[in-house]
Structure 1
């Protein structure tokens, strides 16, 4: 039951702005979560932190420790990026479209509607009021859309939709009560940036960029000022708790506790002293002149994203037609002008060194990192355009295949979260996926009337299975030997059987009177189970040609059917929210789980009943047994995924797949203030709205059918789970949801779960046994304690000569735990031969016991197989590379000789 959220794949980017931290970490919003991609290691991880709605803006501190995320509901989270936890929360009264940390990290500039607010950045320590409002500027006449700090953190540029860029000074000084205005643009401002003089390293120019594809250059000329003119005074008296009102003792205590952000606060608190001193360079005491107007000349397109790199004096811009441009300033020389898609570019950003460009397209779920000098891709990821319909784990649990309504199949590497290959031969929605056992082959079924077989070694479609007349397939399976495959149809209610080797149609199974949405072969017998909307589950003898050998009737439509891994039980879910368990051998109903109350929750905008009273339409559309068959996962038309104990028929745990209020069905109680005579306020179309940020509202998915009795949703996307799959190793499972593919895995953190505890079984006893050169006794004690660190320590402490004797003395009840430790060691331990020798001797000593207990040891053995297969592939690639390198060196040496 110790499953924790691990990752979110299938959607690398969903809208908002992307940022790069530390020159290698790409941070991008994915719905209401934040994804962090390591561009060097090619790994992506999604933070377990969730915002209340889709994220609109993110910002990161200069040191890379803190992350600010603001969602569509103007709720802000202050996140410790290293620890992946939320430190503070705050809500704003207006929408936020611009947010940025100051260069010294002490302050945060936030555009809250028409207001520019300057907040003091919280630190590592705990505070009652972590966010402190320093200044509020109310000079803008429209929403603020762009912000930039001066290098000294004393001035802020703010661009807004009132076609104006304003220069604000952090402190209100005499003679500078009003901000300087940069005028002349004819559309809303997208970006405003300070430019430094390379010789003096001071601000010499300002660039302002507007949505009508224009960029203005403003030159600065400094004017000498007297010392008296520089003395400023605060607009408001110091608030309680500021450094001016603290005693000396309180300041000493504060400085001792605040060990991480002391420098930041001193920089801000000493800002008055810096302004009081004589300074020859102040932006508000100089002269600003418009020196140049340039236009990007993109007809029928709007400028939607931009960024500026000060060190290289480069500007990158993205347009609504999918074109981006890179320009050298101040001469406005076009370096690159390329098209990466046909949809709007919603984010464009430089990395720290300026050699990589990051682009995001929210509508396509596309995220690109491009090296502009060599014109090569560093990262190229794209999610599914529509919802994911089906999932399938590879037999070694290293890959996950997804099929969606966009007609595409994608292969994802589970360990890294990256998409390795995309198959796009289908011409309609992909509805079912299945991995063949024992070979590298993937099967897919689609509404286009074809079942295709894909080779995972050559990445091509090597066989296509069709029917005499066009049919729409919605379910797919194959037998354990891989000789035949079966597919169920949506329109003709038939099951088609093909030969895998020849591709010939062998048989057509008729008898169902509704769409066949569930198909699965028995793991132990050549029997096919099928479920249909005609309220029946049928068993078929495919190889003998006897047709339906058993029929299990139900009172409601049957949505899916699965076999337990030992083949002794059959589970199916019905439209009334119940799960029925059958004995497929005797044909008897064993028991039933009523899950209507468990899955109930979440009220749609169009519902007339409350969430507690509305149980109609709540049902499980996907079931999946665990690797050992002890529990079953069930998900469907709800925000919950339920885990049941099969033997006791009790609910063990309930996973809520998302808390995103931007989706329909997340709230149990609706706000009556949002109800109007025309219906819910969120579902009323506003033709005058300017949907520039994030993904436009659309009804995802294009399947031409719905569940029986359900109504199609024409508003916001609805929370639901379309498919559930548990990895063959049993250590993780994945769910295809509206938010993407959620992956949960067993937490590796230590949990005290001893198997045979006694007074003498202690960590000290393990160390004492190792000191006395008794590795066998130490290993047994560590296995009884069931502490991962001690078990691995004792395994490594055994001498290679003593491995056979120690392996033969291991009791049978500890084999599973020991095999799991071997699988984990192979992932991280450099002693490959040593661990493989352990595995070999363990199989020699307990081969018969392992064969008899294959069901209970199957998850651990598959984890070990996964680790060995991965290392074998890595060594094969390394050997192949070295072989070619040696041949090249030998041929070069012969020529030189």
Structure 2
């Protein structure tokens, strides 16, 4: 039960800026979480930290160790990225429009409303409040939207909505009024400002400002201004003596706190700047929404509100690329460290792209499900995960890497159900468009489509274990259609339900089909014998879903009154009933007239999933909780809260009356400025499919809920299809100290002594009783290959599962493949009969073993294919002396 959050899949990018660290680490906001994608390894993870609302600003330290994330409620997290931990928290006093670390990593600048604040970076320091504000600049007349540091971290270039950019000296200058230099002439807000560097002297000699109306200004720096020199010169002999004394004292500069001023030093903010040129991007009425500058390549990338981006060579303003990647505005555009990759984000489409501009090819093209994810299912080997959503798409994900490698778009309406076939390389999907489609994700194609004589809306789907027939339940005609998988012909139409057939599942070990319907019944069908209904289980309320236990001897169903019923499929009697209304309750929507405690809507489970061994069950519905129950004792073991994001409806139990106005809840009033470019409309995401009877359509913010659950056949993880995407919870891989049959003689020293005396069977037995992972693995490797069979025979039956788990871990992380496969073979041979007798208990361990062996086989096959082609090439090349 030690499940913890592991990853988030299928969630759309909803706005905010992306950053790239270490040249290949792409860090982007995903709702109120942070996603980190390794572009070289194509591996994606979601940090196990979350803010109180959607993240709008990110900034990473130069070495990529620290990350600052600021959400819409102005709350800030200071995160250690390698350790995936929050070090410090704070809250700013206003809306954050810009955020950036200094190049030396000691400070970060933040635009808070009209103010620019300089803070010391807390780093690894431990303090009650580790942040220290060093300086505040209050010279802007409108919101600050862009920041740029000079390479020496001495100057700050600030762009604001008051049509001006300002150059500040971060250092305090004693005796002189530290006024910023103003860059004027823009006719719209300055969305980007950058320093240009002389490659010979490595000093700032230029500046670029990009206005929202599509114009770019190039500014040149030519040293001290005469007026500033006169202003700094001492006007009296006494003042001259004071300046000389002060200059002698100021020999060192500590970074920011020392108010120093070296003799003869130039200050760019008091120097002479001149406008060199003014260039237009010529995009008509399109506005500039994102831009970035790479100093090494001297290039500027600009994204527009019409989905076009341009790449320009400076200082001559030569257009290298001008391409359209969407019809919606681009909300982020950024270079990587080397400047060879460009990252673009489109919040309206929920899409992130990484583009290699020299070869004009995509490095990454990821897009989450824009609307709610309806269904999720694991493959039989637990390596892949398929998702279907209201955006009519089916996506297949690699669980290990977190990357989507296939997207099927042939459906024309919401995808409502998915089912992996036993061959592990084909997938079935049902949709409201009246089709059931079979997908081959080896050839990336839809190889068969199952239809009906008259259009129907399908809401449930399953296939028998042998893969001979495909069954789908309908929303409108209340029928169950049975097709032959090979021919695609309708074999039978099962009638009897009087309401939508919302749940379908074949028994894992028999050929009995179970169906649940809103007509208060669960029916069992013998599809192959054509006997019609075998048995009917009557309920008091609408049945929302049904699922079989992995051994097929028990069936669970949940009803609209919040109860879970467990039925004995052999005797046809009710075994247990769990009352879950109080467990699933929680969370109040903005539009609710009643409090969450007094409301009766939504207090029911809509999806169920048995554990791999069938001892407990997971249940979820229109709530922020996923409940885990022990079946035999009918008790709640644990509740998982799927999100703390206040940007979603249904997270809070109590609403604040301060946010209620005469026009309705303040959060639902669209009073945002049309010039905002940081995200998408709060009310644009929603549900395109269908809802439960009596439920209200979603007309406000997205409502938090779980529409689908699926547990991996290995039992090591489970996935939940939620409003925010697909959450994956996994068991911590590190084994805790949990000994069995422990007595005074079972010690690590006794295991070491047994290995030294070459009594490996006794050593393995002692390590199993001690249940120490490192000792078990050491004993496995202490056995010589000829003795594996004898040692395997000596392993007691109750330790088989633990031994298999150790072998699985070794197969995934150890190069001694032949030795470990020999172990697996001997265990299956010697203990075959006991494995069959205890099939239900050992099933998760066997699935994990199958997954590890399959992955090793695939890796070897790829390696052999590569070597074969290499050898063919080498043999075909003639010898040259």
Normalised by the size of structure 2, how large is the TM-score? 0.95
Query: Is 2:511 the counterpart of 1:559?
Result: no
Matched, 1:329 2:279: no
Asked if structure 1 preserves the Cα contact closer than 8 Å seen for 2:134 and 2:256, the reply is no
Q: Does the alignment pair 1:483 with 2:468?
A: yes
Specify the alignment match of 2:852 in structure 1.
867
The superposition leaves residues 804-826 of structure 1 with CA deviations (integer Å, 9 ceiling, x where unpaired) of 12111111111111111111111
Matched residues in 2 for 1:800 and 1:817: separation?
20
Looking at structure 2, the residues matched to 744 and 267 of structure 1 have their Cα atoms a distance apart, in angstroms, of: 53
The residue number in structure 1 matching 2:273 is: 288
Write the mapping of 1:236-247 to structure 2, written as runs, cut at 5 A: none
Deviation at 1:81, TM superposition (A): 1.0
The equivalent position to 2:353 in structure 1, one of 321, 344, 368, is 368
Deviations 1:247-282 (A, max 9, x none): xxxxxxxxxxxxxxxxxxx99834466943335332
Q: Residue deviations 1:6-58, cap 9 Å, x none? A: 10011263321110111111111110000111111110010000111000001
Structure 1 unaligned residues grouped into runs of 5+: 232-265
* 1:558-607 residue CA offsets vs partner (Å, 9 max, x unmatched): 11000111111111111111111111222211121111100111111111
Q: CA deviation at 1:875?
A: 1.1
TM superposition shift of 1:773: 3.0
Contact 2:39 2:363 in 1 (8 A): yes
Contact 2:306/2:328 (CA < 8 Å) preserved in 1?
A: yes
Higher mean Cα deviation, 326-335 or 839-848? Answer: 839-848
562-571 or 7-16: which moved more?
7-16
Deviation sequence 1:325-382 (CA, Å, 0-9, x none): 1110010001111111122111111111111111111122211111111222221211
Cα RMSD for the two superposed structures:
1.8
In structure 2, the partner of 1:21 is 21
Q: Determine the structure 1 residue equivalent to 2:800.
A: 815
Q: 1: CA distance between counterparts of 2:424 and 2:36?
A: 34
Match of 1:466 in 2: 451
Deviations 1:836-873 (A, max 9, x none): 01111111211111121111111111111111111111
1:524-577 CA-partner distances (Å, limit 9, x unpaired) = 222111111111111112111121122212121111000111111111111111
Distance in 1 separating the partners of 2:708 and 2:78: 33
Alpha-carbon distance between aligned partners in 1 of 2:24 and 2:266, rounded to the nearest angstrom:
35
Report the CA distance between 1:414 and its aligned residue.
Answer: 0.3
- Tell me what 1:34 maps to: 34
**Separation in structure 2 between the aligned mates of residue 164 and residue 48 of structure 1, nearest angstrom:** 40
- 1:787 corresponds in structure 2 to 772
Q: How far has the Cα of 1:171 moved from its partner?
A: 3.2
**Secondary structure class of the residue paired with 1:806:** helix
CA contact (8 A) 1:12 1:35 kept: no
Q: Distance in 1 between matches of 2:498 and 2:558?
A: 18
In structure 1, what is the Cα distance between the partners aligned to 2:771 and 2:384? 29
Superposition deviation, residue 688 in structure 1 = 4.5
Cα 1:401–1:828 change in 2 (3 A) is: same
State the partner residue of 1:617: 602
* Structure 2 residue matching 1:566: 3-state secondary structure: coil
Aligned twin of 2:691? 706
Indicate the residue corresponding to 1:679 in structure 2: 664
Distance 1:24 1:704 in 2: 38
Q: Does the alignment pair 1:884 with 2:869?
A: yes
- Aligned residue for 1:513? 498
- State the Cα distance separating 1:778 from its structure 2 match: 2.2
Which residue number corresponds to residue 440 of structure 1?
Answer: 425
Give the secondary-structure state (helix, strand or coil) at the position aligned to 1:269: coil
Q: Does 1:178 align with 2:163?
A: no
Asked if the contact 1:369–1:378 (Cα under 8 Å) also holds between the matched residues in 2, the reply is: yes
Q: What is the aligned partner in structure 1 of residue 576 from structure 2?
A: 591
Partner residue of 1:740 out of 714, 725, 732: 725
Equivalent-residue separation in structure 2 for 1:742 and 1:404 (angstroms): 14
Deviation readout 1:94-130 (Å, 9 max, x if unpaired) = 1112111111111110111111111111021211220
| Partner of residue 801, structure 1 | 786
User: Matches of 1:705 and 1:611 in 2, distance apart?
Assistant: 23
Which residue does the alignment assign to 2:188? 187
* 1:621 CA drift (Å): 0.7
Aligned equivalents of 1:803 and 1:492: distance in 2?
60
Question: Deviation of residue 226 (structure 1)?
Answer: 7.3
1:690 aligns with 2:691: no
Alignment match, 1:97: 97
Q: Give the stretch that moved more between structures: 421-430 or 697-706.
A: 697-706
Q: Which residue of 2 aligns with 1:137?
A: 137
Q: Does 1:160 align with 2:145?
A: no
Q: 1:332 to 1:176 in 2, by over 3 A?
A: farther
Residues of 2 paired with 1:806 and 1:3: CA distance?
A: 33
Q: What is the CA-CA distance between 1:385 and the residue it aligns to?
A: 2.0
Counterpart contact for 2:220–2:273, Cα < 8 Å: yes
Report SS of the residue matched to 2:821: helix
- Aligned ranges 1:574-653 → 2 under 5 Å: 574-653=559-638
Single out whichever of 439-448 and 710-719 deviates more from structure 2: 439-448
Is residue 111 from structure 1 mapped to residue 96 from structure 2 by the alignment? no
Kept after mapping to 1: 8 A contact 2:372/2:687: no
Distance in structure 2 (CA, Å) of the matches to 1:820 and 1:540: 37
1:851 pairs with 2:836: yes
Segment of structure 1 superposing worse, 80-89 or 745-754: 745-754
Stretch of structure 1 that moved more, 587-596 or 279-288 = 279-288
CA contact (8 A) 2:390 2:689 kept: no
TM-superposition CA deviations, 1:259-312 (whole Å, max 9, x none): xxxxxxx99834466943335332123101111101111113111111111111
Identify the match of residue 826 of structure 1 among 800, 808, 811: 811
Could you say which residue in structure 2 is the equivalent of 1:216?
217
TM-fit CA distance, 1:652: 0.4
Does 1:668 pair with 2:653? Answer: yes
Structure 2 SS opposite 1:488: strand
Matched, 1:339 2:340: no
1:198 equivalenced with 2:183 (yes/no): no
SS at match of 2:709: strand
Please say if residues 57 and 71 of structure 2, whose CA atoms lie closer than 8 Å, have aligned partners that are also in contact. yes
Once residues 267 and 179 of structure 2 are traced to their aligned partners in structure 1, the CA distance between those partners, rounded to angstroms, is 15
Query: What is the total number of aligned residue pairs between the two structures?
Result: 862
Find 2:517's aligned residue among 532, 553, 564.
532
Write the distance in 1 (CA, Å) between the matches of 2:485 and 2:17: 47
- Aligned counterpart, 1:247: none
Return the alpha-carbon distance in structure 1 between the equivalents of residues 98 and 257 of structure 2: 26
Give the match for residue 243 of structure 2. none
Distance in 2, matches of 1:13 and 1:64, equals: 21
Aligned to 1:123: 123
State how far apart, in whole Å, the 2-side matches of 1:463 and 1:153 are. 61
Cα distance in structure 2, aligned partners of 1:267 and 1:597? 66
2:546, 2:557 within 8 Å by CA — same for their partners in 1? yes
2:594 counterpart SS class: coil
Equivalent residue number for residue 713 of structure 2: 728
SS at match of 2:878: helix
Residues 597 and 615 in structure 1, CA contact (< 8 A), matched pair in contact too: no
Report what 1:255 is aligned to: none
Aligned partners of 2:169 and 2:178 also within 8 Å: no
| Residue 149 (structure 1) aligned with residue 149 (structure 2) | yes
Query: How far, CA to CA, are the matches of 1:271 and 1:559 in structure 2?
Result: 64
Any gaps of 5 or more consecutive residues in structure 2?
Answer: 235-250
Alignment-derived partner of residue 775 in structure 1: 760
Distance change (3 Å), C-alpha of 1:167 and 1:827 = same
User: What do the CA deviations read for 1:49-94 (whole angstroms, capped 9, x no partner)?
Assistant: 0111000001011122111000000000001111111111001121
- 1:498-541 deviation per Cα after TM superposition (whole angstroms, max 9, x unaligned): 11121110111111111111001112222111111111111112
User: Which deviations, in whole Å up to 9, do the C-alpha atoms of 1:634-671 show, x marking residues without a partner?
Assistant: 01100000000011110000000000000011111111
Q: Counterpart of 1:222 in 2: which secondary structure?
A: strand
Cα distance in 1 for partners of 2:305, 2:451 equals 41
